[in-house]
Amino acid sequence: MSQMITVREALRDAMAEEMRKDPSVFVMGEEVAEYQGAYKVTQGLLQEFGSTRVVDTPITEMGFAGLGVGAGFMGLRPIVEFMTFNFSMQAIDQIINSAAKTLYMSGGQMGCPIVFRGPNGVASRVGAQHSQCYASWYAHCPGLKVIAPYDAEDAKGLLKAAIRDPNPVVFLENELMYGRSFPVPEGDDFVLPIGKAKIMREGSDVTVVSFSKPLDYALQAADIMQEQFGKSVEVINLRTLRPLDTETIIKSLKKTNRLVTVEEGWPYAGIGSEIAAQIMEHAFDYLDAPVLRVTGEDVPMPYAANLEKLALPNTEKVVNALKKVCYV
Amino acid sequence: MTQFATAITKADALKFYEDMLLIRRFEERSAQLYGMGLIGGFCHLYIGQEAVVVGVQSVLTPEDAVITAYRDHGHMLACGMDPKGVMAELTGRAGGVSKGKGGSMHMFSREKNFYGGHGIVGAQVPLGAGLAFAMKYKQSNALSVTYMGDGAAHQGQVYEAFNMASLWKLPALFIIENNQYAMGTSVARSSSVPDLYVRGAGFGIPSKQVDGMDLFKVREAAAEAVAHIRAGKGPYLLEIKTYRYRGHSMSDPGNYRSKDEVEAMKTNHDPIQNFLAIIQKDYTVTESEIEAIETRVKDVMKEVVEFAKSSPEPEVSELYTDILIGE
């Protein structure tokens, strides 16, 4: 049995269920408690769990990220919310140098079970400093797991997995997805595996790989390719960016021989670049066309509505890339 | 004799002397091994600062957690970590406390509640506040001690941590080990105010300046701070004024200060010699007791160096372990 819930509710339910189960789990961040979350993701948690476990912080990202990591070393399981991941740049030293590397530097003694979560990527008309995708930044670093859910099922099942994971996890949400509803299995023990992609629809002519909100464009483009060009598109939702489910990507590529990646982030050293490299290394002989990347444009995000639209990936750009690799 | 000296026994006095001497000899041997090419990279020695860590540690319990930056060898020995493991980490061997994968600046011990060993100046301060946060969360009576240098005292995140620690009344003792030089830059050239302890006041944190070349004074101040923290009154800041005899790291020629200045500190303010003079007078410590300690430390160091030289390099397979738990 499944029920329709919003991505926002799925995230909240995941945290609440894990907090009921494990008293060492707590949430910390700006406006998470009394304000009920800047985007209302932590709604109701303060009322249920109290101010010891739902902690409003000052605006002090580097400080509370580091404080969370220290608490994680001590055996707590912090969920650190960044109001948006744009502000995580203030804290990135603590995420990488303290959270991600310490297990290795301690010869396996000092793990840090922590989740850094919040909205990532582009919102709407908020300009360059509030519109950036950090997927490739964090996915670059050994010692981290990086997750980017698309729908409510991903959000709930993967956030629960992230909270239970003994390693530091960066959990990249998308503000524009918070209000959308999707079916999610009922019950409080729905967990998805980290590191496994999901084939959203099967196809035989071309593969499109995406994650988070841009998966919308991939799904819409797949419809158009089928209707207008009779091309059967396989759509892969990565779900996890590190470790990358290379196996699922390569298996699909070997079937379709053509592949397009779609992401909101910049093209240079992006997730699509990594996927293209993996394909070169593992399946070069199976390619019937070069891998193409659909990405955000290589510019800081403009404010003007027309320019912002141009800077972002969209369904049309995905269709064009798919046509190109299919030579239609 | 300071007031607090009366509260220690002769056995305590001998132990503190031995603890300080072990750190000094350990660091001297580190310098030698570095010179021989057995230790690589960065290596920051604690010589001159021994009374700070031994004095503070003397008022802690085993449940209390300690965290510091990269001048960390002394802190680990004071926490009771095996000097063999620390030295073998310096030489990058499998017998090192981090299996040779951390090095001088990155060592940890869950068993001894030592949380590193951090290479980014100031980053250990929010981490230390986090240790205290966890202690309060678990309703434990323990506290965290976070050491930083005078250089770290200018990092913004230090004050982010002070603010939260005070706001939430965390059981955190913050210690600025002011050895007066952040690498080659003196406090006078880097700080807008001459005294660093005053920076606690802006956060409502009680703060004090202490002579770090006198173990009795360090111990007294630390005891007062710890009592304040254990009473649930929140964090405390100590600026402990000390002096490092060696360069910032092994590659530092030390041109930013005069030889006379260094020699004057060594001659007139050495924490170990000063302590020895006091305990010989006030605790009737004899020459033979001193000799016994010196011999013991010498023997320990012989074993330590032997172990650090003979322990094998880590297995090649270790390259890919300890990246994630469970993989």
Q: Output the pLDDT for position B201.
A: 97
Answer with the one of A185, A211, A226 that is the final residue of a domain: A185
Phi, psi of A167 (to 5 degrees): -110, 165
Do A44 and A21 reside in the same domain of the chain?
yes
Reference A97, options A130, A142, A133; nearest CA is A142
Do A291 and A230 reside in the same domain of the chain?
yes
Find, in chain A, the residue whose alpha carbon is nearest to that of B103: A105
- CB-closest option in A75, A97, A143 to B323: A143
Name the DSSP letter for residue A300. P
Domain count, chain A: 2
Q: Output the pLDDT for position B6.
A: 45
Q: Given an 8 Å threshold on Cβ–Cβ distance, is B123 in contact with A97?
A: yes
**Structural domain for A289, as ranges:** 198-326
Q: Given an 8 Å threshold on Cβ–Cβ distance, is B322 in contact with A98?
A: no
A65: which chain B residues are within 8 Å (Cβ-Cβ)? Answer: 126
Model confidence pLDDT, tens digit, residues B8-57: 999 999 999 999 999 999 999 999 999 999 999 999 999 999 999 999 99
- CB-closest option in A57, A74, A97 to B131: A74
Q: What percent of chain A has pLDDT over 70?
A: 100
On the question of pLDDT at B3 being above 60, the answer is no
In chain B, residues 265-284 whose CB comes closer than 8 Å to chain A: none
Do A149 and A207 reside in the same domain of the chain?
no
CATH code of the domain covering residue A91:
3.40.50.970
Do A55 and A178 reside in the same domain of the chain?
yes
Do A168 and A212 reside in the same domain of the chain?
no
Q: Cα separations (Å) of B274 from A143, B45, B269?
A: 46, 20, 7
Reference B251, options B34, B68, B65, B64; nearest CA is B34
Do A177 and A51 reside in the same domain of the chain?
yes
Pick the range with the lowest mean pLDDT from B102-111, B139-148, B249-258: B249-258
Answer with the one of A130, A161, A185 that is the final residue of a domain: A185
CB atoms within 10 A of CB A298: 10
Q: Output the pLDDT for position B253.
A: 86
Q: Output the pLDDT for position B327.
A: 79
- CB-closest option in A105, A143, A167 to B102: A105
Q: How far is B289 from chain A (nearest CA, A)?
A: 38
Model confidence pLDDT, tens digit, residues B186-202: 999 999 999 999 999 99
Cα gap B126→B268, rounded to integer Å = 36
In chain B, residues 132-161 whose CB comes closer than 8 Å to chain A: 132-135, 137-138, 144, 156-157, 160-161
Find, in chain A, the residue whose alpha carbon is nearest to that of B161: A63
Q: Output the pLDDT for position B7.
A: 80
Q: A223 in helix, strand or coil?
A: helix
**For residues A145 and B324, is the Cβ–Cβ distance under 8 A?**
yes
Cα gap B23→A266, rounded to integer Å = 51
Residue A193 lies in a domain: no
Do A124 and A178 reside in the same domain of the chain?
yes
Maximum separation of any 2 CA atoms in chain B, in Å: 59
On the question of pLDDT at B1 being above 60, the answer is no
CATH code of the domain covering residue A295:
3.40.50.920
Q: Output the pLDDT for position B5.
A: 44
Cα gap B108→B132, rounded to integer Å = 17
B160: which chain A residues are within 8 Å (Cβ-Cβ)? Answer: 58, 60, 62-64, 66
Mean pLDDT across B224-245:
97
Q: Output the pLDDT for position B190.
A: 95
Q: Given an 8 Å threshold on Cβ–Cβ distance, is B161 in contact with A97?
A: no
Cβ-based contacts under 8 A for chains A and B: 145
H or E stretch including A63?
helix A61-73
Q: Given an 8 Å threshold on Cβ–Cβ distance, is B156 in contact with A62?
A: yes
Residue A191 lies in a domain: no
Locate the DSSP E strands across chain A: 2-6, 25-29, 54-56, 77-81, 115-119, 145-147, 169-173, 181-185, 198-201, 206-210, 233-237, 240-242, 259-262, 292-294
**Please, what is the average pLDDT of chain A?**
98
Do A127 and A217 reside in the same domain of the chain?
no
- Residue B200 one-letter amino acid: G
Domain ranges of chain B: 3-308
Do A175 and A42 reside in the same domain of the chain?
yes
Q: How far is B64 from chain A (nearest CA, A)?
A: 11
**Please, what is the average pLDDT of chain B?**
96
Q: Are strands A2-6 and A54-56 parallel, antiparallel or unpaired?
A: unpaired
Do A139 and A241 reside in the same domain of the chain?
no
Name the DSSP letter for residue B315. P
Which residues of A are marked as active site? 61, 130
Name the DSSP letter for residue B65. E
Cα gap A306→A292, rounded to integer Å = 25
On the question of pLDDT at B109 being above 50, the answer is yes
Do A285 and A173 reside in the same domain of the chain?
no
Q: Given an 8 Å threshold on Cβ–Cβ distance, is B127 in contact with A62?
A: no
Q: How far is A233 from chain B (nearest CA, A)?
A: 33
Cα gap B284→B279, rounded to integer Å = 7
Tokens 């509505």 correspond to A305
Contacts of B301 (CB under 8 A, 6+ apart): B22, B25, B26, B29, B83
Domain B3-308: give its CATH code: 3.40.50.970
pLDDT in tens, chain A (328 residues): 899 999 999 999 999 999 999 999 999 999 999 999 999 999 999 999 999 999 999 999 999 999 999 999 999 999 999 999 999 999 999 999 999 999 999 999 999 999 999 999 999 999 999 999 999 999 999 999 999 999 999 999 999 999 999 999 999 999 999 999 999 999 999 999 999 999 999 999 999 999 999 999 999 999 999 999 999 999 999 999 999 999 999 999 999 999 999 999 999 999 999 999 999 999 999 999 999 999 999 999 999 999 999 999 999 999 999 999 999 9
Give the pair of three-digit tokens for residue A152. 């409510």
User: Which three-class secondary structure string do you get for A132-201?
Assistant: ECCHHHHHCCCCCEEECCCCHHHHHHHHHHHHHCCCCEEEEECHHHCCCEEEEECCCCCCCCCCCCEEEE
Of B136, B320, B322, which to mutate for an interface test with A (greatest number of A Cβ within 10 Å)? Answer: B322
Give the pair of three-digit tokens for residue A232. 């059967």
Residue A41 lies in a domain: yes
In chain B, residues 203-262 whose CB comes closer than 8 Å to chain A: none
Do A280 and A319 reside in the same domain of the chain?
yes
H or E stretch including B55?
helix B50-57
Q: Output the pLDDT for position B2.
A: 45
Mean pLDDT across B256-270:
95
Q: How many whole angstroms from its chain centre is CA A37? A: 19
Mean pLDDT across B85-114:
97
